Amino acid sequence: MRRLALAAVALLALWPDSAPVRAEIVHLKGGSKIEGRIVEQTDAEIRIEIKAGDGTAVMTIKRARIDRIEESATFEDRIKAAQARLDAGDARAAESQYRELVRENPRHSVARMGLAKALYAAVKYAEAIKTLENYVLLVQQGRDPELLLLLADYYLQDGNYKEAKRAAREAADLYPEDKSLALRAEEFLKRIERVRTGVEQIKQRETAEQAELKKRVEERRTWDKKRGTCLDAVRAADALEAWTAESAPKLLFNTMVELGAQDEVIAAYNQGCTDADWQGRVTRVGVTFTVDEVRWTEMYDNEKATLIYGWYHQMRARYGKAYPVVTVECTVKEDGKEKSKNLARGSWDGRRNTVVVDRWTRENRDPAKPKPKVIK
């Protein structure tokens, strides 16, 4: 194929960087494909302009070798597709598409701005600023004022007021005759001063709080229901497992945290109240640990009690209004079916004002800690 392409060279020219040329993909019967712009075609053959190094070449392909020809998306079409991804909230996919576009044409301002916005939406603030700064380094003349205003805005959000002013003023100076652009730059400079004096910081804080509220609502819609009754329950299970792994790394098979509260409290949680507010209003906590029965029974009783006390008090600290019930169980088979078997439980005894541990396994005392003698 390489020899055919070299033999068929008919023209070399520069490939335009920014022209939205409609390209075609020629699929050959052998399975390969060639992408370029068809410049001439007859019933017997086609001539297609393809990229060749820093320029282009025109090659001739016989119709008998062609399986089909399909139209390829232009650069501008791909920008629209990437923007549609971003508008739909899929920042990761948009970032990937915009990165490819910027690689192909690093000086394309719209692609640069799209990548920056996708990065910013993905909370990659420093990288978003950097990609716009790279454009400024590459393009010394004819810079896009819209990109400079976007860079100025990102500088402002980052608290870099000096660079924000510089970028806004440069945007206005690019086209002095553009009164609309000058007005926007002037308003932006005033906005910087308002932020610096704190007038707009309150609005920014409120906007951030609303964004955080929306984020919490979205996050809480899905969770692992095998490990908790809500997202916060799953996170509590994660914390308990991490703590347990420090002393008994292979003990736990699963942790299930069940939380209960009044209906209006649950509704507030689903509507995005803070974790602290939710945790302070939970009234029922049940934690079930599914463990390796062999490892559990081999542990000394004081080690088991230490784990249960630790689990209990961590949940008590997290959910201050609740008195947790901690259950330890394993899975056994009876008549070919799996069922749960209780091994231990820890709960609060109000009359004795302490945590009581019940065990349903044989006693296994640590010989280094003999049972104290009772003197009558």
User: Is the pTM higher than 0.85?
Assistant: no
* Domain regions of the chain by residue span: 2-72, 76-202, 222-359
**Residue 362 backbone dihedrals phi, psi, to 5 degrees:** -65, 150
**Residue 35 and residue 72 in contact, taking contact as beta carbons nearer than 8 Å:** yes
CATH class of 76-202: mainly alpha
Which of 287, 357, 283, 295 has the alpha carbon at shortest distance from 323?
A: 283
- Say if strands 284-291 and 325-334 run parallel, antiparallel, or are unpaired: parallel
- Rounded CA-CA distance 338/329 in Å is 13
Give the pLDDT of the chain (376 residues) as one tens digit per residue: 434 333 333 333 333 333 334 568 888 988 888 888 888 889 899 998 888 877 888 999 999 899 888 877 788 888 999 999 999 999 999 999 999 999 989 999 999 999 999 999 999 999 999 999 999 999 988 899 999 999 999 999 998 999 999 999 999 999 999 999 999 999 999 998 888 877 677 777 888 888 899 999 999 999 999 999 999 999 999 999 999 999 999 999 999 999 999 999 999 999 999 999 999 999 999 999 999 999 999 999 999 999 999 999 999 999 999 999 999 999 998 888 889 999 999 999 988 899 999 999 888 777 776 665 545 4
Task: Choose which CATH entry (2.30.30.100, 3.20.20.80, 2.60.260.20, 3.40.50.360) describes domain 2-72.
Answer: 2.30.30.100
Sheet with 45-52: strands ordered across: 55-62, 45-52, 33-41, 23-28, 66-72
* Residue 38 bridge partners (DSSP): 48
Question: Could you give the CA distance from residue 340 to residue 184 in angstroms, rounded to a whole number?
Answer: 68
Got the DSSP string for 196-238?
A: HTTTTHHHHHHHHHHHHHHHHHHHTT---TTTBSSHHHHHHHH
Non-local (6+) Cβ contacts of 92 within 8 A are 122
